[in-house]
Chains A and B, each alone.
Chain A
């Protein structure tokens, strides 16, 4: 693992500490539920992890601040959804809903994909939320500029089967869900927009140098939801889960480029694309196991990811009997199985003798123990960045250049999935 500067990790440990305090709920995907929504297109700024700002156009919830990405709209299939768009930008704006059928627009002026709201004007979109799944929405007016400027977000349609299902299919049940909206930006275009120099913008030459997950770049992805440092970027991209849990990973391509989304720690199973289950008829399963999913712009994917100790060959909890027994003696002593363990590896110690500390070079997340939730002696000044002994797995764009912000690593499209010891996270409502 590449060396990470300490000041970036302070963010991380503060997040982990805060989120893991007993009684703190781990949020389901934050968003607004409507089904009547009022969005305003307005200007704002976002913060890149080097501390700089980028001027944005984005959607706000009602009279609130512009946010990037746009508010995640969460509805249930069959609901009649209305989205009223008020335009406070100096140009026409609109919203299109790929994957939805029968979207009607009232008010506004006819545009090339739907009705636009003129500056100062409004338009209302109405549709019946179609099949459940993960979808995207964005401006249909000059999208090559307006999607770049930030007018893009996610739409989630929950199935009637229940909020812990991705689709009306028992196989899509999950314990926890996370949304990843992937995008990139060419900041000089934003500067020209801010200066009103639209004639000097050549969108065919867009060249991104900043990449984002849920609107945050680099280590900022792990700061909490609604962290006040990011008044226009309310969504975190940190994924927390416990061993054995089924995690639904919703992926949305929100920029203009394709991003190879690479999830360390285990394969994931892609169960749906563009809001449609990868299944034929009732029984033919077309889902795919992968460790990288190429998320193209405008596309969506749903995947199930899980971490267990299967096939590790050792007990990742480091179970021992009451008198320190390991192996069969520990099993015979009746030490209980914990979530995510495989019976075959229960009580088996790690089959290597850890080297002496003086022979090791430490990553900042090493606890001194190889076991989940464990801790061990570390030289002074090392460790402390993984207080609950989680197993961290980087989830990131595998186009390595996209792990930078303005050419500086770490940055860009990266975040972590933390497998934390069981009992630390509340179940998702």
Chain B
């Protein structure tokens, strides 16, 4: 080889070595994460400001971004920038790392030592399980060598009873080889299912600087997490609501690896419907023999890996059988998702029409539509979507177009998804007010005044049976004010079908005194039975 080529080779070799050195070891992966705050809106409208991780330069999320360590990499580095005011850290239970705990004086909060307590010091407490990243822009690099395959939870190791429920957690995963989490257990598609919960009261106190025995913004309203009471329950950062879309997994016949992790403060008990899971590992350690179960006891901090191989396309319900299925007191909500085994999806779009108002929800599985806010969703071929129309108070539902034949007039209809997109319209109407003297007649109040200080008898009569119950609504100046009652007994018809009824109305003290009021009565089963006060009346104390 002549000396020029040898020179070029040497140069190339030097450059190659230089590249390897500047890239770090060949078997390491590095992530740049930052902390910050993020507003999460719960389905009931409650906004909770939380703490979370995000890729530096990207959005903060709860849970934080999914960290993937490729099969060939044995080292994970996280360069953390902490924009919160409190110090934080990162730990990954199950992965080994050198841990240097941080001890503090429990009264002043000042750091007293790192590593071990100073001999003779019996009062300092651990605030962090490992080195802290200082707040307000501090940085630190955390490193794990000999990273093991499996499914893991990364989270703050600092003041954990506060910082983990505040949202500082996320999933980390590594495969033993491409397509296999563990040797001999291949999969086609994987999906993390990270369970967690939120106590908005404690989170709110932390954000407002009112948490702790010495807080930034006295008075301190919450001195500990002893009273932790979760009100919202999330899978992958979202509670269930009608608008939540199903989570796509492998197609029929493919094997999906479900990576369950629990970052919450309770154990949960997810159950799967219609098939069994092949449970293959726990805490990142594969079982020597897998177990066939439809349920998992998912303790706090735990990870469990399970394979499923659905035989057909469709939606697989997965929900918490310890029944954390609400959003605060609202239902449905909480820990419920649908796993979508996809097949030729088409979109279903809902529109609303008419002079009245109302909402439409997909009340059959897998949900996905809550219209007003979410009026379109894709569903697999053959799905029978159940839709329900809910008229607003004062409106009535008058029918559907685009739904399955035979369900056009029912408040709950079905739409069978075929080979083309579907458009459905729900029509809401304001019922026409008929002249007096028709089937149902309001006898009082038709004028005069209604006193708040004692119950008022609303009376009506009818010349044909109006059905079992009457809805009574209050209007002022033609605008709807309140529902007096959804279902007052209508009164028993005599042999000729005539009769009368009354309702004892205690006027709600929040209704303002004034003029221009009218009562409207409507049969709950037949909206043609309707009447309105002939003239307006006053409401007085």
Q: Choose one: A145, A147, A296; the contact of B297 (CB below 8 Å).
A: A296
Stretch at the interface among A197-205, A223-231, A261-269: A197-205
Say whether chain B's binding surface is mostly helix, strand, loop, or mixed.
loop
Alpha-carbon gap, A299 to B294, bound state (A): 8
Q: Is B322's CB under 8 angstroms from A111's CB?
A: no
Alpha-carbon gap, A296 to B322, bound state (A): 8
- Minimum-distance CB pairs A-B, first 5: A110-B364, A110-B386, A298-B321, A202-B329, A280-B289
CB<8 Å pairs between A and B, sample of 5: A102-B274, A202-B328, A204-B230, A258-B269, A296-B297
In the complex, per-residue mask of B311-345: 1 if CB is within 8 Å of any chain A CB, else 0: 00000010101111110110110101000000000
B328 cross-chain contacts in A, Cβ below 8 A: 202, 204
Alpha-carbon gap, A52 to B255, bound state (A): 52
In the complex, per-residue mask of A103-147: 1 if CB is within 8 Å of any chain B CB, else 0: 100000111111000000000000000000000000000111101
Q: Choose one: B276, B295, B329; the contact of A204 (CB below 8 Å).
A: B329
Known A110-B386, A257-B322, A299-B321; further 11 A-B contacts with Cβ < 8 A: A98-B271, A109-B364, A112-B364, A143-B321, A204-B328, A204-B329, A205-B329, A258-B267, A276-B292, A296-B321, A297-B321
Q: For window 257-277 of chain B, which residues contact chain A by CB distance below 8 Å? A: 267, 269, 271, 273-276
A148 cross-chain contacts in B, Cβ below 8 A: 323
Q: Which residue of A lies closest to B321 (CB)?
A: A298
B332 cross-chain contacts in A, Cβ below 8 A: 112, 142
In the complex, per-residue mask of A68-105: 1 if CB is within 8 Å of any chain B CB, else 0: 00000000000000000000000000001011111100
Q: Is A103's CB under 8 angstroms from B325's CB?
A: no
A110 cross-chain contacts in B, Cβ below 8 A: 363-365, 384-386, 412, 414
Alpha-carbon gap, A58 to B346, bound state (A): 39
Q: For window 295-320 of chain B, which residues contact chain A by CB distance below 8 Å? A: 295, 297, 317, 319
Q: For window 245-304 of chain A, which residues contact chain B by CB distance below 8 Å? A: 253, 256-258, 273-276, 278, 280, 284, 286, 294, 296-299
Q: Which residue of B lies closest to A206 (CB)?
A: B323
Q: From A204, A205, A294, name the one whose CB has the most chain B CB atoms within 10 angstroms.
A: A204
Q: Is B323's CB under 8 angstroms from A256's CB?
A: yes
Q: Is B414's CB under 8 angstroms from A297's CB?
A: no
Given A109-B386, A147-B323, A203-B331, is A99 in contact with B365 using a C-beta cutoff of 8 Å?
Answer: no
Alpha-carbon gap, A145 to B293, bound state (A): 25
Q: Is B365's CB under 8 angstroms from A286's CB?
A: no
Query: Would you call B449 an interface residue if the criterion is a C-beta within 8 Å of the partner chain's C-beta atoms?
Result: no
In the complex, per-residue mask of B447-458: 1 if CB is within 8 Å of any chain A CB, else 0: 000000000000
Q: Choose one: B291, B295, B322, B324; the contact of A98 (CB below 8 Å).
A: B295
Shortest distance between the CB of A117 and any CB in chain B (Å): 12
Q: Is B289's CB under 8 angstroms from A284's CB?
A: yes
Q: Is A144's CB under 8 angstroms from B276's CB?
A: no
Alpha-carbon gap, A95 to B428, bound state (A): 32
Q: From B267, B273, B328, name the one whose CB has the most chain A CB atoms within 10 angstroms.
A: B273
Q: Is A96's CB under 8 angstroms from B273's CB?
A: yes
Q: Is A294's CB under 8 angstroms from B365's CB?
A: no
Q: Is A98's CB under 8 angstroms from B294's CB?
A: yes
Q: Is B297's CB under 8 angstroms from A112's CB?
A: no
Q: Is B323's CB under 8 angstroms from A286's CB?
A: no
Shortest distance between the CB of B417 and any CB in chain A (Å): 13
Query: Would you call B443 an interface residue if the criterion is a C-beta within 8 Å of the partner chain's C-beta atoms?
Result: no
A112 cross-chain contacts in B, Cβ below 8 A: 317, 332, 336, 363-365, 367
Alpha-carbon gap, A284 to B323, bound state (A): 35
Q: Which residue of A lies closest to B298 (CB)?
A: A296
B231 cross-chain contacts in A, Cβ below 8 A: 204
Shortest distance between the CB of B295 and any CB in chain A (Å): 5
Q: Is B297's CB under 8 angstroms from A204's CB?
A: no
A274 cross-chain contacts in B, Cβ below 8 A: 276, 292-295
Q: Is B365's CB under 8 angstroms from A256's CB?
A: no
Alpha-carbon gap, A256 to B266, bound state (A): 13
Q: Is A297's CB under 8 angstroms from B324's CB?
A: no
Alpha-carbon gap, A100 to B385, bound state (A): 23
Q: Choose one: A111, A203, A253; the contact of B326 (CB below 8 Å).
A: A203
A113 cross-chain contacts in B, Cβ below 8 A: 273, 317, 319, 365
Q: Is A99's CB under 8 angstroms from B294's CB?
A: yes
Q: Is A297's CB under 8 angstroms from B323's CB?
A: yes
Q: Is A298's CB under 8 angstroms from B269's CB?
A: yes
A100 cross-chain contacts in B, Cβ below 8 A: 274
A143 cross-chain contacts in B, Cβ below 8 A: 319, 321, 323, 325
Q: Which residue of A lies closest to B410 (CB)?
A: A109
Alpha-carbon gap, A305 to B64, bound state (A): 47
Shortest distance between the CB of B350 and any CB in chain A (Å): 15
Shortest distance between the CB of A140 and any CB in chain B (Å): 8
A111 cross-chain contacts in B, Cβ below 8 A: 363-365, 386
Q: Choose one: A202, A205, A284, A298; the contact of B271 (CB below 8 Å).
A: A298
Shortest distance between the CB of B312 and any CB in chain A (Å): 9
In the complex, per-residue mask of B422-465: 1 if CB is within 8 Å of any chain A CB, else 0: 00000000000000000000000000000000000000000000
Q: Choose one: B230, B269, B273, B325; the contact of A299 (CB below 8 Å).
A: B269
Shortest distance between the CB of B319 and any CB in chain A (Å): 8
Given A110-B414, A273-B291, is A101 in contact with B323 using a C-beta cutoff of 8 Å?
Answer: no
Q: Choose one: A101, A109, A201; the contact of B275 (CB below 8 Å).
A: A101
Alpha-carbon gap, A148 to B231, bound state (A): 18
Q: Which residue of A lies closest to B385 (CB)?
A: A110
Q: Which residue of A lies closest to B292 (CB)?
A: A276
Alpha-carbon gap, A248 to B322, bound state (A): 26
A206 cross-chain contacts in B, Cβ below 8 A: 323
A101 cross-chain contacts in B, Cβ below 8 A: 274-275
Alpha-carbon gap, A296 to B365, bound state (A): 25
Q: Is A273's CB under 8 angstroms from B293's CB?
A: yes
A286 cross-chain contacts in B, Cβ below 8 A: 289, 291
Shortest distance between the CB of B258 and any CB in chain A (Å): 16
Alpha-carbon gap, A39 to B332, bound state (A): 25
B294 cross-chain contacts in A, Cβ below 8 A: 98-99, 274-275
Shortest distance between the CB of B329 and any CB in chain A (Å): 4
B271 cross-chain contacts in A, Cβ below 8 A: 98, 298
A96 cross-chain contacts in B, Cβ below 8 A: 273
Alpha-carbon gap, A354 to B291, bound state (A): 49
B414 cross-chain contacts in A, Cβ below 8 A: 110
B317 cross-chain contacts in A, Cβ below 8 A: 112-113
Q: Is B295's CB under 8 angstroms from A296's CB?
A: yes
Q: Which residue of B lies closest to A300 (CB)?
A: B295
A205 cross-chain contacts in B, Cβ below 8 A: 329
Q: Is B363's CB under 8 angstroms from A144's CB?
A: no
Q: Is B412's CB under 8 angstroms from A294's CB?
A: no
